[in-house]
Amino acid sequence: MARITLKRPPAIISADDICLFLDFDGTLIRLAERPDGVVVDSALIALLERLALRLSGRLALLSGRSIAQLDGILCGMTIAMAGSHGGEIRHRDMVAMVVGRPEALSIVETELADTFRDRKGVIVEVKTLGVAIHYRLDPSAETEIHAVMASLADKHGLDVQTGKMMVELRTTGHDKGTALAAMMQEPPFTGYTPIFIGDDVTDEDGFAACAALGGAGILVGQERQSAAQYQLDDVADVHRWLSTL
């Protein structure tokens, strides 16, 4: 992947030709020390509602969280979503599981709970189609966690998904890029130019899918090697840019 210099995305004068895909953690809300510690205020809910109306429904969230988690956080707001890194998609009030939850994830869940039971700064998060370990509260555990997760992935045939101070084992064959591409084949997204905003390496597949479909990715945070074409500084900057729509 070639290194590029990312520029600030231009203000969108007309939203009539675009559809919008948004990552959640680190993009719409600030990262929290614990995955259950995120805070969503009424201003964000109102912003998403305005965007969904302005885009005539051409708005979707693409997240590593499950759809059930997102629904709980957003108080059941009914917009299109792809959860579990593209492993589940809700579109037009229907939820489709791309794959089922394999027994291997339950085995991994038990093994990780036993392995890190006494590590107070290490959090094991069970997801619909994955099991993640967060070590933001104990950065010294990084090397050990990556080694353990790599071993378990090889043993059980799971994918390793890295992120900001986290590692996840998840089902194979799907990502945010496959979810975005699938949603682009259905109304109301079909025929519009996709824009995807995300902050983490977990969002790179979405950026690449956007580019392949003639759209653009927007990276949130410090510049790095990326398939995105543009960059915004932080969550507050994302909100400001979205408000121009």
Active site residues: 23
Q: How far is CA 179 from the centre of its chain?
A: 11
Cα 201 to its chain centre, rounded Å, is: 10
E-assigned strands of the chain? 18-22, 59-62, 80-83, 88-91, 94-97, 123-127, 130-134, 159-163, 166-170, 193-198, 216-220, 230-232
In whole angstroms, how far apart are CA 14 and each of 17, 79, 165, 216, 219? 7, 21, 37, 16, 21
Please check whether residue 235 is in contact with residue 241, taking contact to mean a CB–CB distance below 8 angstroms.
no
4 CB-side CA count, 13 A: 14
